[in-house]
Every structure is written in C-alpha cells, then in structure tokens.
Amino acid sequence: MFRPLIASCVLLVIASAALAQSNASPLRGASVLVAAIQMARSCSGVELAGYSDEDAFIQGASKTLKKQGYRRQAVLKQVYYTRTEDLMTASNQLLSGVGVSLDDKRSLCAHAEKVASKQDLIGQFLSKQ
C-alpha cells in the first residue's frame, strides 16, 4: 500500500540530486570565475572581491564554489585546460540567462554593478570600487 509512495519519494530524491549535480558542473563553475574576471577587467566600478590578483582569485573563489557543491579540482582543471574561446562561450551562455553578454560592455558593467557584493552566483566574487 505504501510502496508506490515510497518509490515515488526515492525517485524524487534521486532526481533532485541529479539536478543539483548538473547545476554544479565544472564548466559552469569555471564560467562563473571567467565571467567575474571579465567583469572586473572591463568595468571600472567593480573589482574582484578580496583578492590581490587573478591567480589568487581563481584559487580562493574555487574554494568558495566547493562549499556550494562544485568539485574544486574539476573546476580548476576547466579553468586551466579548457580553450579560452570555449570558456568565453560558456560564460556568455551563463550570462545570457540574465540578458547580458561579454561583448556588450554597457550591459555587462551595469549587471556587474547591480550584483556586486550580493548573494549572486557571480556577484559574490565582485565588490564595488
């Protein structure tokens, strides 16, 4: 009598776990870091929060992503070994979800200023100057 309900709950938990893992893909994590770096490079009003340079940022921010469910070493592998063009494409795909492109500096910087220092996937790594 309760078996169908239990089976449904188990499937729901498995599906939720699979969805959470797909959202925390290494390429997505790497594209977050690249997007934050591009925003800091392109926009005079924002900077990488709490890091002296981009290498320190990548190391520190990857630790933050690990706490959020990303596999740190896999993210770092994507950052260091994926072709730059592919990382930029992935970052553009991520940003397209909020109507922003790395190629449109005006909208990129407006979005960067809007999310800097906020609980946002990218904004958590930015601060206003």
pLDDT in the model for residue 98:
94
List, for the chain, all residue ranges whose pLDDT scores fall below the cut of 70: 1-22
pLDDT in the model for residue 35:
97
Q: What share of the chain is helix, strand, coil (3-state, %, to 5)?
A: 70, 5, 25
pLDDT in the model for residue 19:
38
pTM of the model: 0.81
pLDDT in the model for residue 129:
87
What are 2's two structure tokens?
């309760």
pLDDT in the model for residue 44:
94
* Element housing 127 (H / E): strand 126-128
